[in-house]
Amino acid sequence: MKEDKMKASLFCIKCMDDTIHEVTYVDNILYEIRCEVCSLSDSRGADIQRELYLNYMERVFSKPKRFKNEAGDNLPHFLFSLPYRVMSKPFRTYKEIKDMLKYKRKI
C-alpha cells in the first residue's frame, strides 16, 4: 500500500489563516489533512477503508483477464516468471491485507 504525503497551503478553520497542511494519500485516495500549526486533523476513516477494499476486490476480479493479456503479450517471460509469482503471491496478499487493516485501526 503506497502512502504519499505532501505539503499544501490551505485555510485552517481553527487558526483562521492560510497555513501549511500535511496532506496524506493512500493509494491515490485522500486519507487525511492535518494543519502543521495547530495539529487540527480531518480524516476520512471508514470511507477510505471501503475504497481500499473495493479497489482490492476490483483487482482480484480482473486478475484472470490481466493474466491472459500478459501471457498473450510475452509468453516466454510470462512462463519464466510464473513460478516466482505463484510462490510470492500469498505473501504479497497477506502484506496488502495487513496494510489495509492498519488503516482500519487508525480510524
For residue 45, tell me if it sits in a domain: yes
69-79 pLDDT, tens digit each: 988 888 888 88
pTM passes above 0.75: no
Number of domains in the chain: 1
Q: How much is the pLDDT for 6?
A: 94
**How far is residue 19's CA from residue 33's CA, in Å, rounded to a whole number?**
12
Nearest CA-CA partner of 11 in 57, 53, 42? 42
Give the per-residue pLDDT at 23.
94
Give 2-52 pLDDT, tens digit per residue.
889 999 999 999 989 999 999 999 888 888 899 999 988 888 777 777 888
Confirm whether 74 is domain-assigned: no
Mean pLDDT score, 83-102? 85
Range of the domain at 29: 3-65+79-104
